[in-house]
Amino acid sequence: MVAKRRGHLRTKAAARLAMTKSTEDAPTSMIKSDIGTDMADTAMHMDEDPRAFLHQAKESKRDKSEQKSQQFLARIKESSLGAGISKSSLRRRKRKLRDRLKPRMDDLLVSLEQEVDIAGNDGKEENKRKQVNVIGGPKTEGNSSGLKKNQPSIRKQKGAKLLNTREADRFQTVLHNVQFQQSPFATLKEVIKMRSE
């Protein structure tokens, strides 16, 4: 409930008190004219006061409810027109965009054939590859990390320590290697080739 101004109530009470005093003293015709002027004075005071409507609501309840219903109806119209997109359709669109970005096998095949044609025109002997058959190579048993079964794990403290000492020893042996001291980059290339095969 809205709190009323006390000053306003006091002015009303003062006006009533003045009216009762004037009715006792003056005849009835003058009372009516005095009442009209007193009411006009109080009305002027209410209009002149800038805080007269301070506690009054700016919008009525009816206006608020109409505004809410209009917003709700507008939202329904937008959703019926297809403005709102569901999460699944957004996911589908994103997936399609990702698939479009991925290289297609047909495109790769065409570019590979062009590369082979260019290389074939340069020289057929340079294009031959060395084929090596590996029998009994290192196999991993279902490990995605590719570690051998008995190798220490770097994720555990003991394994990390052990791997650190092994790596330090191997580093020292490589540094003292005569072939590495003569041409370090050539040795690195050979080691990389051996590991990749």
- The pTM for the full model equals 0.24
Is 67 contained in some domain? no
Domain housing 18 = 6-48
Arithmetic mean of pLDDT, 35-59:
61
* Number of domains comprising the chain: 2
Is 118 contained in some domain? no
Question: Which pLDDT score is estimated for 180?
Answer: 83
Is 73 contained in some domain? no
Q: pLDDT tens-digit profile of 117-145?
A: 776 666 555 545 555 555 555 555 555 55
Q: pLDDT tens-digit profile of 87-120?
A: 888 899 999 988 887 766 666 667 767 776 776 6
Is 160 contained in some domain? yes
Is 41 contained in some domain? yes
Q: DSSP secondary structure string, the chain? A: -PPPPHHHHHHHHHHHHHHHHHHHHS-HHHHHHHHHHHHHHHHHHHHH-TTTTSSS-SS-HHHHHHHHHHHHHHHHHHHHTT-S--HHHHHHHHHHHHHHHSPPHHHHHHHHHHHHHHHHHH-HHHH-------SS----SS-SS---TTSPPTTSHHHHHHHHHHHHHHHHHHHH-HHHHH-HHHHHHHHHHHHH-
